[in-house]
Structures are given as C-alpha cells and as structure tokens.
C-alpha cells in the first residue's frame, strides 16, 4: 500500500529542494514526499493522488508564489483533502497574512523561513500535525468508485453491471462532498456522471459495458478463434455446461453479454437448492460456479453480445456485435430469459428511475424506511420480497391471481406469511405511473371491482413472465411461437425430422434443429424453470456434445 503523502510547494527551486530534503530526512521512511514548483502543479498532483484513492497527511505551501499564492492553493486543496493538515511557509514580513489565513483556510500552523535547525523549528511542528492527522486519517480507497445521481438510469446501469459481475465498488452521490471532490479532481462536473474511478485513479465518464468490463479485469477477448465448445449465456445452465465441458477436456469458452448468474444470480436467497440447507444467495452460487469453471480451464468472455449463429461446414460460427466471430465444433445455447416489460401508461419513462425489472439488489439499501411494490407471484418475486423486507417499511406484492400457491414454492409462501411488513394484494394490477424525473406514484386496479387507487412510492420491481433471449438466432434453429428453442423429440413430427437436418439419426434430447447446437435451461421449450434443472441440463448437454463429437 502506498505511504501517505506530505506535499511541499514552493516556486523557489533552492528553497523547494531544501524543504523536501528536510522533510524526507525525517519522514521519508513512513511518508511519500511530493514536491511541486507552483500552486497549479501541486493541485494537479493532489488530483492524481485523490483519484488513486491515496492519502495526504500534511501540505506545506509557500505564501509568495506567482499565479497562485499559498493561501489560494491551500483553499483549493481543502476541497480535495479536507482532513490534511495545512502549513503556510512565510517570511517575517508576511506574518500578518499568515495570521489572517488561520481563519480563511483553517490553517493549522505557519512557519517562518528559514527554520534552521529543523530539529528545533520544523520537526516538532510537523510531528504534532502528523499525530493529529493519524487520529483522523483519510480513508484509503482501493476499490472501484462510482459517482452518480440517485435517480439516474445510466448510473443504475453502471452499478448493476458491476454488482452482477461481482466487482466490488463504492457508490458515491455526486452531490455529496466526497463525490464533489472526486469530480473536481477529475476535472468533471455533476453533469458528466456516471463517472467510474478505477483503483489506479483513472476516471471513466459514462462508460459502456464493454469499456467497463475491459477496465475492471473482466476478459472480453477470446484467446483462440476455434473451440470445441462455445456456451452462450452464463446463467446456471451455461455455468453448468462450462464446468462439465472444461473439466472433461473440451476447449470451452463461456460468452455472456451482461453478467454471470442470469436471473438466478440476482436472487437474494435460494433455499431449495440441493446441498445448501441454510440457503445460498444467487451471487454466492454464481461466484462459486464461475471459479469452478475457470479452475478447469474454461474461458469467460464478459460484455460480449452474440448476434448470429450459422453453420460453416462441420463447424459452427458465432458472430459478435463488433463484427468479430469465433468458430467451434459445438454450441450450448443457455441465454435464459428476461422479464417482460410491464405495459402501463407512464412506466416506460421510469425504467431505471424507480422502475426495475428483476431484483436490482443494488437498490435495496436505498429503500430503507420506504414503501416498495413488487409485481409478480413466482419464486423470484417472493425471494425479492423477503430481501427487500429487511430494508423497506412495507413491501407490497401485487398478483393477478387470488393467492401465491399457483406459481410459488411452499417454503417461500410460508416465509412471506411470517414477515409482518410484507402484504400480498390479490387480483391487483398496475395501470399507471407518475412522477417528476423519477417514479413517485402508481395507479393500481382491483380486477374484481374495477376500482382504482393511487399509492405513493418511488420503488417498483417487476417479475412478470419470461421472454427467451433468442431473437438473435433468426432462422438458425427452430423455435416455438414464443421464441423458445425446440429440441429433441419436439423437433420430430409424424416421423419427420426437421428440415435441413441431414443426419441419419434423430436429434438428441437437448439438440436443436442445427446439429451440434444444444439448448439448456430456461431458453429451451418446455424446460423446468428451476436452478437445479438448469444446471442438470447444462451438464447433460455436455454429455450429448461428447456423443456428437464421437459421431454416435
């Protein structure tokens, strides 16, 4: 870890060297001495230190400097490091100015030049200031920091991407003092957010997901242009396929557009997954599976969008949105599903501004003491309700049916019934939304009476239905009317194999209409929408990949 800094600034080269020499001689083993020749140069050095998340303990500035005198410098430096101790170096004739500066810039001390010997006139002063600073130091920041606005869809998108990819970060509001200092250090304004400040101090202004991935250590470029197995989608099915494929010796690459884990990765608690009697969060399960796949040698490509699939002789070609492509012997489609958009007047304009699709766990702490509304009655909605109940004053579940039994596991129903601040509203739908810049109210309708009512809330989380992420496939494989990929026996009608099949055998159980391309998990037609079954299908798909490669 980098030592805290002691900064000295003086425009006289001889004096500047002497000051830095004396300070370094006494404190160089514990502090990094930074020397600047002018106020502007010193401020630039402070900005770099700030962006790197490092500390400044003491600043010593000469009073008489061109462009910016010492008082002016210390006044601006306070905005960057308000807890750093401040010393003004003055000649005898400038003592009145130094005394005035005590109030102007909250000066800790002023020193008359020259101060020989430093053992008597310099070091005791600096020792005292360092002791005071050490009792309340600036926090050392080594994680990624995100500066943004609370009600900002781009700010939410950045935070959500980092959280779902398990990248540690610290969220700082742009209008907080610390956010203002970071923006000032980067030469930016609140209008430039979201700003991501990397651990090395580099600021990224409104980065795209691919830019963000490349800078936070996620792999975005494949190591090869040909693989035995390409898995598209890093939900439970894709992770399962990657673990089994790589562990069994297949050159495997897992491609994910957004984040590992899929919808399951957003779950606050999965309590019916085999082997976890006390439950496990989606993030924990995802991270373990990701590490397991990497341990066996699978590659993981993040923030890469696959836009096309086609046969290229015996190979299968996958095209990315940037125009590049990779080839493979086999493919496992595990792109999962996404929540359908809620169709009600006013809702679309508040997406990311109070209306969220999925758990959006990054927002949970912000819901403290407020009314939260959840639309949906399946397991994902129930898990979210339990999670948000730990923060919100009241969680309201809006369901179209009369109760939760039709689509929710009994263990979740039992939990919800015991949590006092969760209320289930049967036969209730959202028919409107309103707000100024962000969601502020919802209009609800009782399906039995047709009566409507308006409720005040800045939070709505939607878990309705599921649409498969298969539009990019086009005609490459046969899909059902809802877009789910048909596999195995579902492709054989009246003894007829799918058009263009060309092999003397029927499609394997999880094989699509394009030989060598398999589907696993929620994206497959008639699949069970459960984490365990998705993992099982991912593993089964790899067994069928081996049969395909063996020509059986």
pLDDT in tens, 67-116: 888 888 988 888 888 889 988 888 765 666 666 666 666 778 888 877 78
Res 98: pLDDT:
62
Same domain flag for 475 and 366: no
Nearest one of 338, 339, 341, 249 to 296, comparing CA atoms: 249
- Higher-confidence position of 300 and 166: 300
pLDDT > 90: what percent of the chain? 61
Flag whether 535 is in a domain. yes
Res 522: pLDDT:
93
Q: Is the pLDDT of residue 137 over 60?
A: no
CA distance to 111, 242, 468, 486, 551, per residue, from 262 (Å): 61, 14, 12, 21, 32
CA distance to 39, 71, 404, per residue, from 67 (Å): 7, 12, 70
pLDDT band at 117, cuts 50/70/90? confident
Res 112: pLDDT:
81
CATH number of the domain to which 60 belongs? 3.40.50.2300
Same domain flag for 361 and 282: no
Q: Is the pLDDT of residue 525 over 90?
A: yes
Q: Residues 6 or more apart from 386 whose CB is under 8 A from it?
A: 268, 269, 412, 415, 416, 419, 422
Least confident of 294-303, 362-371, 476-485: 362-371
* Helix, strand, coil share (%) of the chain residues, nearest 5: 35, 25, 40
Q: How far, in Å, CA of 518 to CA of 316, rounded?
A: 12
Same domain flag for 488 and 520: yes
Q: How far, in Å, CA of 175 to CA of 183, rounded?
A: 10
Q: How far, in Å, CA of 49 to CA of 195, rounded?
A: 17
Nearest one of 220, 233, 475 to 332, comparing CA atoms: 233
Whole-model pTM?
0.73
Q: Is the pLDDT of residue 493 over 60?
A: yes
- Higher-confidence position of 338 and 137: 338
Least confident of 55-64, 280-289, 472-481: 280-289
Mean pLDDT of 261-269: 74
Nearest one of 23, 89, 84 to 58, comparing CA atoms: 84
Flag whether 220 is in a domain. no
Mean pLDDT of 332-356: 91
User: Which tokens go with 215?
Assistant: 């800078």
Residue 498 has phi, psi (to 5 degrees) of: -60, 150
User: Residue 146, exposed/middle/buried by CB under 10 A (0-12, 13-18, 19+)?
Assistant: buried
Same domain flag for 362 and 321: no
Same domain flag for 479 and 414: no
Average pLDDT over all residues of the chain: 90
Q: Is the pLDDT of residue 240 over 90?
A: yes
Flag whether 221 is in a domain. no
Flag whether 343 is in a domain. no
Q: Is the pLDDT of residue 1 over 60?
A: no
Same domain flag for 328 and 475: yes
Same domain flag for 261 and 174: no
Same domain flag for 36 and 128: yes
Question: What range defines the domain where residue 209 resides?
Answer: 144-215
Coil, strand or helix at 469: coil
Q: How far, in Å, CA of 210 to CA of 212, rounded?
A: 5
Same domain flag for 376 and 420: yes
Q: Is the pLDDT of residue 495 over 70?
A: yes
Same domain flag for 395 and 495: no
User: Which tokens go with 309?
Assistant: 């699939």
Q: How far, in Å, CA of 221 to CA of 129, rounded?
A: 50
Query: Which run of H or E residues covers position 537?
Result: helix 531-550
> Do residues 69 and 63 touch, judged by C-beta distance below 8 A?
yes
pLDDT band at 138, cuts 50/70/90? low
Same domain flag for 16 and 110: yes
Q: Residues 6 or more apart from 30 whose CB is under 8 A from it?
A: 3
Mean pLDDT of 185-200: 92
Query: Which run of H or E residues covers position 155?
Result: helix 153-164
Pairing of strands 325-333, 337-338: unpaired
Nearest one of 224, 240, 218 to 318, comparing CA atoms: 224
Mean pLDDT of 43-57: 89
Which tens digit of pLDDT belongs to each residue from 357-396? Answer: 887 777 888 898 999 999 999 988 999 999 899 999 999 9
Q: Residues 6 or more apart from 416 whose CB is under 8 A from it?
A: 382, 385, 386, 397, 404, 422, 424
């Amino acid at each position: 870890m980098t030592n805290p800094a002691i900064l000295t600034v003086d425009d006289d080269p001889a004096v500047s060297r002497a000051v830095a020499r004396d300070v370094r001689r006494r404190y160089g083993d514990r502090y990094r001495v930074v020397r600047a020749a002018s106020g502007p140069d010193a401020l630039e050095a402070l900005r770099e230190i700030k962006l790197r998340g490092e500390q400044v303990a003491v600043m010593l500035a000469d009073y008489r400097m061109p462009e910016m005198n010492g008082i002016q410098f210390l006044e601006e430096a306070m905005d960057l490091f308000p807890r750093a101790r401040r010393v003004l170096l003055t000649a005898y004739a400038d003592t009145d100015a130094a005394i005035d500066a005590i109030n102007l810039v909250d000066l800790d001390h002023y020193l008359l030049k020259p101060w020989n010997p430093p053992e008597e006139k310099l070091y005791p002063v600096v020792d005292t200031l360092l002791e005071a600073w050490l009792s309340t130091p600036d926090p050392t920041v080594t994680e990624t920091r995100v500066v943004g606005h609370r009600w900002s869809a781009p700010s939410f998108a950045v935070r959500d991407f980092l959280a779902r990819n398990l990248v540690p970060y610290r969220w700082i509001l742009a209008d907080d003092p610390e956010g203002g200092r970071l923006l000032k250090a980067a030469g930016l304004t609140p209008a430039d957010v979201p700003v991501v400040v990397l651990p090395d101090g580099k600021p990224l202004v409104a980065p795209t997901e691919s830019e963000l991935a490349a800078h936070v250590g996620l792999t975005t470029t494949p190591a090869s242009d040909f693989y035995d197995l390409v898995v598209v989608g890093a939900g439970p099915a894709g992770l399962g396929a990657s673990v089994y494929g790589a562990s069994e010796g297949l050159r495997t690459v897992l491609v994910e557009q957004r984040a590992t884990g899929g919808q399951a990765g957003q779950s606050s608690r999965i309590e019916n997954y085999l082997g976890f009697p006390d439950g496990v969060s989606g993030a924990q399960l995802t991270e373990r599976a990701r590490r397991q796949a990497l341990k066996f040698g699978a590659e993981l490509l993040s923030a890469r969008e696959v836009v096309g699939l086609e046969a290229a002789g015996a190979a299968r070609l996958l095209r990315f949105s940037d125009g590049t492509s990779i080839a493979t012997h086999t493919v496992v489609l595990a792109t999962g599903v996404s929540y359908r958009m809620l169709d009600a007047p006013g809702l679309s304009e508040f997406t990311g501004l109070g209306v969220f699709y999925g758990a959006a766990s990054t927002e949970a702490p912000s819901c403290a003491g407020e009314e939260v509304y959840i639309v949906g009655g399946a397991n994902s909605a129930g898990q979210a309700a339990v999670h948000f109940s730990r923060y919100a004053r009241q969680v309201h579940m809006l369901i179209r049916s009369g109760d939760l039994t039709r689509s929710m596991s009994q263990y979740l129903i039992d939990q919800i019934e015991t949590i006092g601040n969760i209320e289930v509203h049967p036969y209730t739908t959202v028919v409107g939304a309103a707000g100024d810049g962000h969601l502020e109210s919802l209009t609800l309708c009782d399906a039995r009476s047709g009566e409507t009512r308006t409720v005040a809330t800045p939070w709505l989380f939607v878990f309705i239905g599921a649409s498969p992420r298969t539009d990019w496939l086009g005609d490459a494989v046969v899909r059902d009317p809802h877009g789910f990929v048909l596999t195995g026996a579902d492709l054989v009608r009246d003894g007829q194999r799918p058009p263009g099949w060309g092999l003397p055998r029927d499609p394997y159980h999880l094989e699509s209409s394009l030989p060598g391309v398999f589907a696993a998990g929620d994206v497959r037609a008639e699949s069970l929408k459960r984490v365990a079954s998705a993992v099982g299908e991912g593993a089964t798909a790899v067994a069928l990949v081996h049969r395909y490669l063996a020509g059986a």
